[in-house]
Every structure is written in C-alpha cells, then in structure tokens.
Structure 1
Amino acid sequence: MSKPTFTLSRASLKDVPRIGEIAVRVFETDTHSQMKVMTKKPDEWRQGFEEGARNYIESQRVVMLKATDDRDGTVAGTLAWVFRGVEMDSSAGDSGDATAQEEQASEPGKEESAGATGDAAQDVAAEQAPVPGAEKVKELEKMTSDHLYGFMDRVLPVDGRGMFVAGCSVDPSYQGQGVGSLLMDQATEKADMFGLSIWVHSSEAGWPFYAKHGFKEVERLTLDLDEWAPGPPPKDGVFGDREKWGEYIFRYMAREPKSTGSGH
C-alpha cells in the first residue's frame, strides 16, 4: 500500500464539525481535559471546540490550516496560529500569506489565543444548569488562563510582533504519518519569513512534538489536578485503575526565528 499524501489548505466553516470531532478525539486521553469534561453537559465539550474553530476561521489575525487526505478528502488534522503585530492580507491564498503591516485592530480576544490546550474553546458553550464540581473547575480555568496571558505579555517582543500556536490537532488514526509536521512547517516558515518569534502553551503530551520543531521550554505551570477535580477518574477504561488524577504540567515553549536571507 502506498504511503498516503496530504494537501494543505485554509479551513472553512464547512470543516467545523470535523475539526470539533478531531479535537475531542485528541484530548480523550489528556487528564487535564478529561477531568474538566466531568463537569460538562453532553456535547458541550465538542460544541466548545466547534465554536472556537469558527472564531479562528473568521478572524483576520488567525490562519487555520487543514491537512486533507488525498485519497478521500478526509480532514486529517488542523493547525491554527495567530499573528500579533502583523495583519493578515485579505487576499492571501491557501498558504496563509501575511503582510508585515502595523496591526490596526485590537489584540486577539481570548477565544483566539488559548486553543493549544482547548481552554478557551471549552468555555464558549451556552450557559446551562451547573454540574457538581463545575465552580471549582471554573476557578482552575481562570487560573490557567490568567497564567497564560501573563506569560504572553512577558514574552511578547519589544516591537510587539510575534506569533503563537493556537492549536494543533491530528486525528489519532492519522498520527505518525507526518501530518502534524506538515502543518507545523508552514507555521515556522511564516515565522521565519517575517522574523517573528513563535510560542505555544503545550499540553502535557504535546511538548515533544514542539521540541522537535525547534521550540524550547521557557516556563511551566505544574498542577495537582486532584486539588481541582470534582471526583476521581471515571472507570471507563481510558485511565485504567487510577484512583487519582495526579500531576499535570503545561509547558510554555518558544522558538526564535531563523534567518531566511529575505531581509525581513
């Protein structure tokens, strides 16, 4: 059987259901995410990811790429990155070109900037009756979000120009086939083209992937999930016989631009 090939293009609104499906599957074994899922209503988790994807696709400062399986057109993975201090060119093609112009719009809102771990996307579903333990989890979400934005303010270059990865998700059935690297190479090439530093708020499982692409850990946030959990891990087979959620580490990682010889 020949090795599958993939085509990169800009994601569109018709891709939103598939993007939500991929994100849910990716975080099925992430302890931080699954602990928070315990306080969500049915479908609220998926709906949050879908709303986040819509915000990315419609934003002028976000590039959301998809990798499509050339055999059948299935979306295998997505990656979104946000420009700060540069403005997206409205005439940009599928490769996600941008112009190094002064940004006129306000800074990206929270719905555009925490997608690497899904935190912001998870908060956008409609308000419903509270689930036991939900308030404690909301405290955790606020704490991690505040920590994230504090980090972003600290690492933003003096000239105010940079990029950050807002989310990279590859369907588990496509992992190990180079899809993530294909997507990430586009982001790092754009960062190098414009001489921009690029950073990411990485989930516990994601950091080796980012390290492979030149990101270095510059800060971390360590959590004892059992201090925030509404209960022990569910006995659904995902986490085996674990009685506690345990420790979880978010890694803040950054990559400095490489010279392209283009004068940027």
Structure 2
Amino acid sequence: MSTPICNLSRASLKDVPKLAEIAAAAFNNDAHTQMKATSPKPGSFVRDMAQGLRMWINTPSRCVVLKATNDSHGTIVGFISWGYKGVELDVPLLQSEVGSDEGGNEKGNSDPAEPNLEQTSTTTDQPQETPIQGADRIAELERLTSSHLADFQKRIMPAGTRCMYIGGITIDPVYQGKGVGSQLIRWGIEQADRNGVFCWVHSSEAGWRMFEKLGFKEVDRLTVDLDAWAVRTPRAEGCDGWGQYTFRYMVRQPAEA
C-alpha cells in the first residue's frame, strides 16, 4: 500500500471559496471551459462552481466531498466529489459536521434531492443586465452536453442500481502530477470494492488517462467541435481555433475478492 501523499478529510461549507479558487486555476487550460468562459460574465465559473460545491456538501446521504490537505502547511491542494447509491461508506468521513458559508451563516447537513452532475457546470442562470453576444450559442452547447450526460446517467444508474461516481475532481496546478488525484480517486475505489459495486466518471480531456491507469474503461463518448459554438477565437498567441473536445464516460468494475 502506497504512503499517503496528503491528509484526506470531508470538506465543509467554509472550504467552498478555496475549493472554487482551485477549480478556476486548474481549468484555466481546459479548452471547453475557457471557450464557454468567453460568453458569461467574469467570475461566473467561480460563482457556479461554489454553488455546485455547496449543493454536494449539503447532500451527505448521497455524496461526499473530500479535500486533500498538505500536512506540512495545512493548505488544501485538491478535492473530489464522490456520489454513491446503495453504498455504505466508512463512518469517520461521514460524521455530522457544521460549517459556515462565506457570509458566516451556519449550516448543517440537509438531504435534498439527488445531485445532478451538471449543477457544477460553468454556465450561469444569473440574470444578465445586458445581452451577451454569442451567449445563445454557448447556452445551446451546454444543453447538448447536459442532455447527453443526463441520458447516460439514466442508462448507467436505473432504479435500484448500487454504484459510486465522480461528480468532479480538481487538483491545484502546483500539485498536479504528484499523486494527489490518484489518492483521492483510490479512496472511492476502495469503498466501491469493499461494497462490490462499480464506479463511473464523466471525464474531461485532461483527466481520462489518469482514470484509465486506475482501471476505468471508456464505454461512451461525446465529441464536439468547439469552433462551431465559439463566440471568439482563443486569446493564446498562435492559436486560431479551439478544436475538437471529447468527453469520455468511463466505468470501473469492482475488483474480485
């Protein structure tokens, strides 16, 4: 068994600003995220990511958000959202916890409806003071990807299914490639193997190879031509287009006892 790289513990509402900040930094080079960000107002990614994280944290009976903390200085360096159905997780990480949001409002655990993975997407439902050029095109792309994911969820998780799934995983760019992501994923894999259930993930372009190394296999995909939906070309020097982007749906079967 490998030596833990970071301390893993359950995230609370007070961690949300830091987690959203890490996500914004990590997705700075993700073509799909950056293309969509050319339309929404500045700051919408962080705002919507924070909203999604609060929803996950406030649904302890169906998901757990784990944060990875660097023991040497106590800094959060990454996180993962594990959803689960019909699975009993280890008790220590699910003990009742009360945190506070950015406004200092104390909140405890609630039990809303089952989380929708797309609630952590980068589009926003906030009212706009003025129309944004090209926003309709990007909103239509969001509807396309959301519909495709929702269809897969219905097929992979029909009523009565027992499984675990990754709603999101993000590592601080400074700590990427150091095994933090693998440690966060392995935590859930061990839980799934103990319960004899499969895991699945809706992977970004950057993440699928890590999942593959940990036993996930592609079972479906969605490839989109980002330039067909883009409002403007990338700002990067020498780059005249966004190119194609592939979302991979990957499944890992439980290890045999």
Task: Report if TM-score (shorter chain) is over 0.5.
Answer: yes
In the TM superposition, what whole-angstrom CA distance separates every residue of 1:206-250 from its partner, at most 9, and x where no partner exists? Answer: 10011011100011101001111111112xxxx431111111111
Within 1, Cα distance between the matches of 2:156 and 2:139? 26
The reply on whether 1:148 has 2:154 as its aligned counterpart is no
Query: Following TM superposition, by how much is the alpha carbon of 1:182 offset from its aligned partner in structure 2, in angstroms?
Result: 1.0
Query: Following TM superposition, by how much is the alpha carbon of 1:167 offset from its aligned partner in structure 2, in angstroms?
Result: 0.5
Within 1, Cα distance between the matches of 2:68 and 2:33? 24
Q: Please tell me the residue identity of whatever aligns with 2:93.
A: D
2:56–2:115 CA contact under 8 A, matched in 1 = no
Query: Following TM superposition, by how much is the alpha carbon of 1:4 offset from its aligned partner in structure 2, in angstroms?
Result: 9.6
Partner of 2:102: none
Q: Please tell me the residue identity of whatever aligns with 2:194.
A: M
Q: Please tell me the residue identity of whatever aligns with 1:6.
A: C
Within 2, Cα distance between the matches of 1:108 and 1:159? 14
The reply on whether 1:54 has 2:19 as its aligned counterpart is no
Q: Please tell me the residue identity of whatever aligns with 2:255.
A: K
What SS does the corresponding residue of 1:208 show, helix, strand or coil? Answer: helix
Among all aligned residue pairs of Structure 1 and Structure 2, give the percentage whose two residues are the same amino acid. Answer: 44
Compared with structure 1, are the counterparts of its residues 233 and 7 closer, same or farther at alpha carbon in structure 2 (3 Å cutoff)? same
Query: Following TM superposition, by how much is the alpha carbon of 1:44 offset from its aligned partner in structure 2, in angstroms?
Result: 1.3
What SS does the corresponding residue of 1:123 show, helix, strand or coil? Answer: coil
In the TM superposition, what whole-angstrom CA distance separates every residue of 1:148-178 from its partner, at most 9, and x where no partner exists? Answer: 0111111226742112100110000011211
Within 2, Cα distance between the matches of 1:64 and 1:106? 15
1:198–1:256 CA contact under 8 A, matched in 2 = yes
Partner of 2:103: none
Query: Following TM superposition, by how much is the alpha carbon of 1:196 offset from its aligned partner in structure 2, in angstroms?
Result: 1.4
The reply on whether 1:226 has 2:227 as its aligned counterpart is yes
User: Where does structure 1 lack aligned partners over 5 or more consecutive residues?
Assistant: 97-104
Query: Following TM superposition, by how much is the alpha carbon of 1:120 offset from its aligned partner in structure 2, in angstroms?
Result: 3.3
Compared with structure 1, are the counterparts of its residues 151 and 187 closer, same or farther at alpha carbon in structure 2 (3 Å cutoff)? same
Matched positions, count: 238
1:4–1:71 CA contact under 8 A, matched in 2 = no
Q: Please tell me the residue identity of whatever aligns with 2:42.
A: P
User: Where does structure 2 lack aligned partners over 5 or more consecutive residues?
Assistant: 96-110
The reply on whether 1:247 has 2:244 as its aligned counterpart is yes
Partner of 2:18: 18
Within 2, Cα distance between the matches of 1:53 and 1:233? 28
The alignment's TM-score, normalised by the length of structure 2, stands at 0.86
Partner of 1:71: 72
